[in-house]
Structure 1
Amino acid sequence: MDPALADSGLGDAEDDDFDVAFEAPDSDLPENRYLDRELSWLAFNQRVLELGEDPTIPVLERANFLAIFASNLDEFFMVRVAGLKRRIITGLAVPTNVGRAPADALADISAEAHQLQLRHAAAWTDLVRPALADAGIQVCEWNELADDEREALTEYFQLQVFPVLMPLAVDPAHPFPYISGLSLNLAIRIRNARTGRQEFARLKVPPMLPRFVQVPGSDGGLRFIRLEELIANHLGDLFPGMEVLDHHAFRLTRNEDVEIEEDESENLIQALEAELLRRRFGPPIRLEITDDMDDVTLDLLIKELDITDQEVYRLPGPLDLGGLFDIARIDRPDLHYPPHVPTTAVAFQPGDGRERGDIFRALRKADVLVHHPYESFTTSVQAFLEQAARDPHVLAIKQTLYRTSGDSPIVQALIDAAEAGKQVLALVEVKARFDEANNIVWARKLEKAGVHVVYGLVGLKTHCKLALVIRQEDGMLRHYSHVGTGNYNPKTSRVYEDLGLFTADPQVGKDLTRLFNELSGYAIEKKFKRLLVAPLHLRKGLLRLIDRERAHAIAGKPAHIRIKVNSMVDEQIIDALYRASEAGVRVDVWVRGICSLRTDLPGVSDNITVRSIVGRYLEHSRIFAFDNDGDPQVYIGSADMMHRNLDRRIEALVRVSAPAHVEELLSFFDGAFDENTLAWRLGEGGVWERHTVSATGKPLVDLQNRTMSQIQRRRRTRSVR
């Protein structure tokens, strides 16, 4: 899995909503008012695939989108499909969000996923591979190579590949080997030349070697061959004295979800380490095979892997197109998006003879709202923490860490601060899915440096993005706060669209101090002034804000709700939006991924518009805006509209108060919902339609490009107070 896609990356298939069945309140709303969340997720991944199919996008970016699609689908199977299968096996017959039995839902998913994988394979074979070849990058088959190229590759195979291969025989003396999840394998049938008996062998394609091997001596362009194709054409070297009858590629997906039962006495780190070992041996949930695999080999795999026909995906072309990430990284600027260089936020730019921006000085003047990746993470969030670490007047730093990079300067800043004698608290969420092992490593490194490391509240993931710096100034303590929508991860900040609010507002500082006390100690805070915090009162707070807009509409006042999230699933929130729409409230929902909200319910959703933007950057920020009779209230934060975020996570939204920041966020929505903006629109039957040209045939505007241009045009005179 591409680490840049975690938290979902473009994927975010993560969820643990299977343990609670939602009971919708009594209502006069129609029963079939939700879209199936699993099929909606597959529709999201189809939007990613459509970018790979789009000939107007640079071809190496198209290859990248095909790789993202494959990585997303892997995660979807490892988590969502695995969860459904677990419910079927255990007999936990909790229906899906649309009332479907798990077995029926699994059949629906299988049918849709089969079609998408076939379309994905065709996109590579018929569209992207030929387009790459036209641009001078060829992915070749063995029989397309010249003799001298084959000789050079044979030498490479003998020196670099053959020594690490491990063929495993299957016979009465050798049981069927364990097939690891997401590994690419060759199933090989051979005949013993001495006895004439047919045998079976499994060969794992080494994941540590380059998936695409460059053909030596290529002139006038780049030529590659897939590693499994190279191996397949040298099987005779692996089985001397045997006749190789046939070979076929296959790939297995396993349940790799982690389940941890917590209690106050359990050592969470040790429990996670044990569970991560068990993850490798999860039950199979998908078998991908090439379309030319013979029945004898397939029957053996189905029998030995204990997998059903429904879980077999027979595909044309190569398997594991997630390997296209390697191709997408080829250094051909003409085949990539034009470079976008993040700018430093105006308030943080050097000035007045200073070599670097003084973050604290800027925040004493005004709040600062930063927009990544258009504005630099390095010169804002990272600089904020690094300045705090070296500032002798800073007494304490408190921070949440959900996901961060392997060479994190954020973690290093916390270590530097602790070693400088400051009080440092790091709340590390070691249960961040697929980042558990990485977070355990950093948690232990932080502890060794003297950082106070805590792991949050039992039974709740800490997903909020918070940093608090306490600085002594003129004999008093001042709070400097950061509340963000994205992880403290410099790498993903370059591809994730996120927002962050920096403020020296004392009320926000007090709110964060109380929240950190709750997370690290035993305090139970009932109320916050500028924050909405889950699970205690975020849901209630949003429902009150939605209902207030409804009341305004009933009273004949203008009313408008605008929400931007990654996922819109929670039934109570959706029902509240339906009721607001019925009352005449204009509701705009901007969602990247799953959307269970329908727009085709006459009399119910007439005033609801849903858009999705999937593009160069992963839309990750969460924004909640309410017109409030002409006095807009706008919040940003970490929460999506899902059960897990509202009920089983620590999430935080902060109210944005500076009028210029409110205006900026509302104009961001205006751009997304402009009819001249390139976007997908949710319509009849839950079908998403991509609009790329205007009514007059002109190409629509790319919102992300426009946002970058707008931010780069900012002038220092636009400093916010």
Structure 2
Amino acid sequence: MASTPQPPSADATNAGGDLSQLSAEERYFNRELSWLAFNDRVLEEANNANYPLLERLRFLSISGSNLDEFMMIRVAGLAGQVRSGVTQTSIDGRTPKQQLAAIGTKVRELEAKQQATLARLQPLLEDEGIHLAGEDRIEEDAHRWLRDYFVNHIMPVLTPQALDPAHPFPFVANGGIGALFNLTRNSDSSQLVEMVLIPGALPRFVRIPEEVLGDEAIYVPVERLVCRYAKLLFPGFTIVGDGVFRILRDSDMEIEEEAEDLVRFFRSAIQRRRRGQVIMLEIDDSFDPEAEELLRDKLELEQAFVTKTTGMIGISGLSQVVDEDRHDLKFTPYSPRYPERILEHDGDAFAAISAKDIIIHHPYESFEVVVDFLRQAAADPKVISIKQALYRAGNQPTVINALIEAAEAGKSVTAVVELKARFDEEQNLKWAGELERAGVQVIYGFIDMKTHAKVSMVVRQEEGRARTYCHFGTGNYHPVTAKIYTDLSYFTADPALGRDAAKLFNFVTGYVEPQSMERLAISPLNLYERIIADIDHEIALARADKPAAIWAKMNSITEQGVIDKLYEASQAGVEIMLVVRGICCLRPGVPGLSDNITVKSVIGRFLEHSRIYAFGNGEPMPSNTAKVYISSADMMERNLHRRVESLVPIQTDTVHDQVLDQVLLANLIDTQQSWLLDGETGDYQRVAPADGLERGGFNCHEYFMTNPSLSGRGEALKESGVPKLTLRKPAS
């Protein structure tokens, strides 16, 4: 098994300047606070008046679900470190306890901003006939309908539980919502506290049907209905006080290296996760004080966050309202193009790829081309073998079915299923079972490393020899996220990349560490070293007074060795432009440290997810001779040192042109969806639309929705060319 390379120290990478004079806090941003800043940018889209109303509500819901996951994973991990007495500091020099204190302040600010945003959106929604928690404003017929719905659909599945010495305190599931009631018995005035947990199978909101209210859409949170009709649950009692609460639990899973059976381990670990330590308690501000004290005591809230709200608990639940059938309040539906290059070969993917490499830009071009590649492989009598890496396949079985069809057709099919894909473990276990039953050889990879590379490999018998066709992606084989995430799919029949892909699969399935790679770089073996070497090359060019530039697009950058090397490059005069959607621990534009580095974030209709790394290689950017890679890896310690990832060089001219001169450049010059990072304060400021490529600004998502792909269009380019983009640096 491969040993994990360690990043060089700051001193080792800082040949160009003395970082030792700066404190850790002066050199780096805190990872967790940077993530909260990202989620704040997501939340700001809910306040973007340029978006349709329900899309704004969607961004609010997303900010809620993002925050839930952050609490369950990142904050839970820090709380566990505090309980264990860990004092190891973060990249910016903070202990876990110090980080929790800073996070607590920001989380409360973010939650308050979420509630304020909801309060601003509600009257706008009401103007459009959509009402939230509006049961007090409806007609008597609707009241009767709500009561009947409660009696017939909700009340039968509720189980009131007394909280007293004779009854054990009930278990509240992760994400569970409940209500506490302070009761007085009418017969003898005795006091009683009861808990009612709301089953997760119930809808988050109850929508009063159109036949009752006509065009008005009224959504009532299910917990409010429970409180409203609680007297039906407690006949013979007077309700003195009530309150609604919600809890989140520690949902991380620590992998045991000695686990002999990963499948059995994960099945039991999923069950344990549902009973993890309480990490957050949300209560409404009218919560009965005595009931609140009891809840705090019974839930053992050591290291837990407790928040009170005057608005709605569980903001993420608004996703149900977003599904309201009001197309006038949503983005105009977008239908992705199917690549003409494939159609020009009568739908024969292998013929098209054999002629020339193809890059597909999702979601602007259909993910169906990836599924069709596998379907064709399953049906093609010349195909003898398929190898597929699956990280997140989602709950739609399109890719899984294609692999099953191939196995049932007698192909040799190997699937590397990653059981450690967070929150997808249960779904991946299900797919693994179905694949195995169909005759697919299922491999679970390394115990201590996730297999995050996005690779598919098809071996086809052609003219007496085996030829390998590969798909390398920046995103998961997930048909749902492929409609909303921007990612790249690269199809190639390059023999060298085919040989490298085979070595990658052998490394994962048999721990056979490749002795050499022709084109591909993989983590944890040599991907980090390749990136560092390419940065070093740009540094050498700059010191020789030659053009030197680095452009990169990623989701996060937290790895200290890479950050310090970029600081060194900046000090040497390399022009560095980074598009970092989420976490950024690098401080750009700091005098003497990172003067030549610009960092921006693009947040818009689609989730920017592709990873692209480009190095000028001695020519002004964008350059035909630039080194360009696509990758499954972000510049994070986990991706570079604790995961199996791929870094794929792009050498075909048309693909190189699209990735560098179109996809990456469009992100760099976007203004309408862009935020610039202030390296001194850590604040992000919107780029003014007037500073864009043309009057009104430039929107990279709209550009790709209205303009074709370079390599996917084929002969169609003769009729309609792609508008040439030119570099305009974002205004600071």
TM-score of the alignment, normalized to the shorter chain, above 0.5: yes
SS of 1:602's partner is coil
What is residue 730 of structure 2 aligned with on the other side? none
Describe how 1:249-260 pairs up with structure 2 within 5 A. 249-260=244-255
Amino acid at match of 1:465: K
Measured after TM superposition, the shift of residue 175 of structure 1 is 2.3
Q: 1:300 aligns with which of 291, 294, 303?
A: 294
Distance 1:507 1:422 in 2: 23
Measured after TM superposition, the shift of residue 306 of structure 1 is 1.3
Distance 1:718 1:555 in 2: 40
Amino acid at match of 2:162: A
Measured after TM superposition, the shift of residue 603 of structure 1 is 1.8
Q: 1:198 aligns with which of 175, 181, 191?
A: 191
Distance 2:451 2:11 in 1: 28
Distance 1:309 1:619 in 2: 34
Q: Say whether residues 1:91 and 2:81 are aligned partners.
A: no
Measured after TM superposition, the shift of residue 350 of structure 1 is 4.6
CA contact (8 A) 2:7 2:561 kept: no
What is residue 595 of structure 1 aligned with on the other side? 584
Residue-by-residue CA offset, 1:93-140 (whole Å, 9 max, x unaligned) = 211121101111101000000010011011112x22111111121224
Q: Say whether residues 1:40 and 2:18 are aligned partners.
A: no
Residue-by-residue CA offset, 1:617-644 (whole Å, 9 max, x unaligned) = 1111000001111321111010011111
Amino acid at match of 1:370: I
What is residue 171 of structure 1 aligned with on the other side? 164
Amino acid at match of 1:622: R
Q: 1:655 aligns with which of 649, 652, 662?
A: 649
What is residue 152 of structure 2 aligned with on the other side? 159
Q: 1:289 aligns with which of 283, 291, 300?
A: 283
CA contact (8 A) 1:142 1:233 kept: no
Amino acid at match of 1:403: R
Is 116-125 or 224-233 further displaced after alignment? Answer: 224-233
Measured after TM superposition, the shift of residue 22 of structure 1 is 9.1
Residue-by-residue CA offset, 1:6-52 (whole Å, 9 max, x unaligned) = xxxxxxxxxxxxxx999543541233211000000000000110011
What is residue 715 of structure 2 aligned with on the other side? 716
Residue-by-residue CA offset, 1:207-262 (whole Å, 9 max, x unaligned) = 21222212241123322222111221100000110111111111111101111212
SS of 2:336's partner is coil
What is residue 51 of structure 1 aligned with on the other side? 45
- How many pairs does the alignment contain? 694
Amino acid at match of 2:240: L
Q: 2:703 aligns with which of 702, 706, 712?
A: 706
CA contact (8 A) 1:140 1:224 kept: yes
Q: 2:131 aligns with which of 126, 130, 138?
A: 138
Amino acid at match of 1:151: R
Gaps of 5+ in 1: 1-19
CA contact (8 A) 1:260 1:275 kept: no
What is residue 233 of structure 1 aligned with on the other side? 228
Describe how 1:446-485 pairs up with structure 2 within 5 A. 446-485=435-474
What is residue 25 of structure 1 aligned with on the other side? 11
Distance 1:457 1:675, change over 3 A: closer
What is residue 726 of structure 2 aligned with on the other side? none
Measured after TM superposition, the shift of residue 145 of structure 1 is 2.0
Residue-by-residue CA offset, 1:307-366 (whole Å, 9 max, x unaligned) = 159711111211111111111111211110111110012211255xx3xx1000001100
TM-score scaled by structure 2?
A: 0.92
Q: 1:399 aligns with which of 364, 388, 412?
A: 388
Measured after TM superposition, the shift of residue 445 of structure 1 is 1.2
Q: 1:604 aligns with which of 593, 598, 609?
A: 593
Amino acid at match of 1:248: G
Distance 1:678 1:318, change over 3 A: closer
CA contact (8 A) 1:182 1:254 kept: yes
Q: 2:667 aligns with which of 669, 672, 681?
A: 672
Measured after TM superposition, the shift of residue 142 of structure 1 is 2.8
Is 149-158 or 645-654 further displaced after alignment? Answer: 149-158
What is residue 77 of structure 1 aligned with on the other side? 71
SS of 1:669's partner is helix
Amino acid at match of 1:691: V
CA contact (8 A) 1:567 1:595 kept: yes
Measured after TM superposition, the shift of residue 195 of structure 1 is 2.7
Distance 1:450 1:53 in 2: 51
Distance 1:640 1:676, change over 3 A: closer
What is residue 273 of structure 2 aligned with on the other side? 279
Measured after TM superposition, the shift of residue 717 of structure 1 is 4.3
Is 175-184 or 425-434 further displaced after alignment? Answer: 175-184
Distance 1:501 1:100, change over 3 A: same
Distance 2:670 2:410 in 1: 55
Q: 1:115 aligns with which of 100, 104, 109?
A: 109
What is residue 240 of structure 2 aligned with on the other side? 245
TM-score scaled by structure 1?
A: 0.93
Q: 2:325 aligns with which of 313, 331, 337?
A: 331
CA contact (8 A) 2:467 2:495 kept: yes
Distance 1:650 1:695, change over 3 A: closer
CA contact (8 A) 1:110 1:310 kept: no
CA contact (8 A) 2:522 2:645 kept: yes
Measured after TM superposition, the shift of residue 458 of structure 1 is 3.2
CA contact (8 A) 1:21 1:95 kept: no
SS of 1:628's partner is coil
Distance 2:150 2:9 in 1: 59
Q: 2:687 aligns with which of 676, 684, 691?
A: 691
Distance 1:146 1:692, change over 3 A: farther
CA contact (8 A) 1:262 1:268 kept: no
CA contact (8 A) 2:134 2:218 kept: no
Distance 1:576 1:259, change over 3 A: same
Distance 1:480 1:428 in 2: 20
Distance 1:676 1:600, change over 3 A: closer
What is residue 531 of structure 1 aligned with on the other side? 520
What percentage of residue pairs aligned between the two structures are identical? 41
Measured after TM superposition, the shift of residue 530 of structure 1 is 1.5
Distance 2:433 2:133 in 1: 46
Q: Say whether residues 1:209 and 2:184 are aligned partners.
A: no
Amino acid at match of 1:234: Y
Distance 1:330 1:692, change over 3 A: farther
CA contact (8 A) 2:255 2:447 kept: no
Measured after TM superposition, the shift of residue 712 of structure 1 is 7.1
Distance 1:250 1:340 in 2: 39
4+ residue segments displaced more than 6 Å: none
Measured after TM superposition, the shift of residue 186 of structure 1 is 0.9
SS of 2:707's partner is helix
CA contact (8 A) 2:9 2:561 kept: no
What is residue 502 of structure 1 aligned with on the other side? 491
Distance 1:210 1:272 in 2: 28
What is residue 314 of structure 2 aligned with on the other side? 320
CA contact (8 A) 1:569 1:642 kept: yes
Residue-by-residue CA offset, 1:456-507 (whole Å, 9 max, x unaligned) = 1231110000000000011111000011000011111111110011001111
CA contact (8 A) 1:399 1:467 kept: yes
Distance 1:225 1:280 in 2: 27
CA contact (8 A) 2:255 2:448 kept: no
Measured after TM superposition, the shift of residue 449 of structure 1 is 1.0
SS of 2:213's partner is coil
Distance 1:399 1:92 in 2: 40
CA contact (8 A) 1:560 1:627 kept: yes
Distance 1:309 1:54 in 2: 35
Distance 1:333 1:462, change over 3 A: same
What is residue 188 of structure 1 aligned with on the other side? 181
Distance 1:580 1:23, change over 3 A: closer
SS of 2:491's partner is strand
Distance 1:53 1:677 in 2: 14
Distance 2:91 2:441 in 1: 40
